[in-house]
Amino acid sequence: MTEANTSMLKAIKNSAIGLGIFAFFTAGIIAITQQVTAKNITENQRQFEARQLLSLLPDGFKAEQILNSAQPLNATQLQQFELLNVSNGSPYYIAKNAAGQVQAIILPAQAPEGYTESIQLIIGLTAQGEVIGTRVTQHKETPGLGDQIERAKSDWILNFNGKSLNNPTPEQWLVKKDGGSFDQLTGATITPRAVVKAVKQTLTFYELNKASLLSENLAEGLTEGAAQ
């Protein structure tokens, strides 16, 4: 083998080693970046949900205070858990004042019949089962149409405030197009129909399980499970 060939092979070998090292470090940087990005997304979602929770509570409550009140929903101890369309172990929150009186109970719910995909909600109730407020925490509804369920986009979601399982009557818990009491959105009926149904089902669930939910003892015997 000539000296020129030896030099060429050495150069190729060095280049291959260099490329290998470069690829290794690049893959590492990408992996770290993905982990940091995922962590930031999770934290941003947590902060967003905390703000949404606080928007359902009287003034004076702090984010950490309500987040620390989280209790797991235990499907094995609750009647008709499937009404919420959430996973076993999903958190709910009980906000109490300094005297220990319940100011609000906040339940998670999911509207699986959204136009694009499931719509995730939190619904704040009084201990008596009256809606304090409803907020959308995650959705992919059509911009300019179905996304009007967001509080930041319109006042539509406020239509549930003050409502209960019997106000309006159960048969009126529909959008007006279906003969009910709730307005649909301009150019969108499927999205509000799904949300109205989810809120009604949450009220029904609360009525069935009020005592258990307020007892805050649902963690006992809890095992993780799939969405019910």
Tens of pLDDT along the chain (228 residues) come to 566 556 666 666 666 676 767 666 666 666 565 555 545 555 665 666 677 777 787 777 777 778 788 899 999 999 999 999 999 999 999 988 888 888 889 999 999 999 999 999 999 999 999 999 999 999 999 899 889 999 999 999 999 999 999 999 999 999 999 999 999 998 899 999 999 999 999 999 999 999 999 886 565 554 443 333
pLDDT recorded at residue 225: 38
Sign of CA dihedral 157, 199, 56, 114: negative
Q: What is the DSSP string of the chain?
A: --HHHHHHHHHHHHHHHHHHHHHHHHHHHHHHHHHHHHHHHHHHHHHHHHHHHHTTS-TT--HHHHHTTEEE--GGGSTTGGGG--BTT-EEEEEE-TT--EEEEEEEEEETT-SSS-EEEEEEE-TTS-EEEEEEEE--PPTTTGGGGSTTT-SGGGGGTT-BTTBS-GGG-SBGGGTSSBPPBTTBSHHHHHHHHHHHHHHHHHHHHHHHHHHT-TTTT-----B-
CA distance readout (Å), 142 to 107, 118, 154, 155, 175: 25, 13, 14, 17, 18
Cα(124)–Cα(203) distance, integer angstroms? 10
pLDDT at 223: 44
Which residue, chain included where needed, has tokens 């539509």?
156
**Residues in CB range of 108: below 8 A, 6 or more apart:** 73, 84, 86, 90, 91, 92, 120, 121, 122
Both structure tokens of 49: 């949900």
Please state the φ and ψ torsions of residue 147, each to the nearest 5 degrees: -70, 0
pTM of the full predicted structure?
0.76
Count of other CB atoms within 10 angstroms of residue 81? 20
Extents of the domains making up the chain = 1-54, 70-215
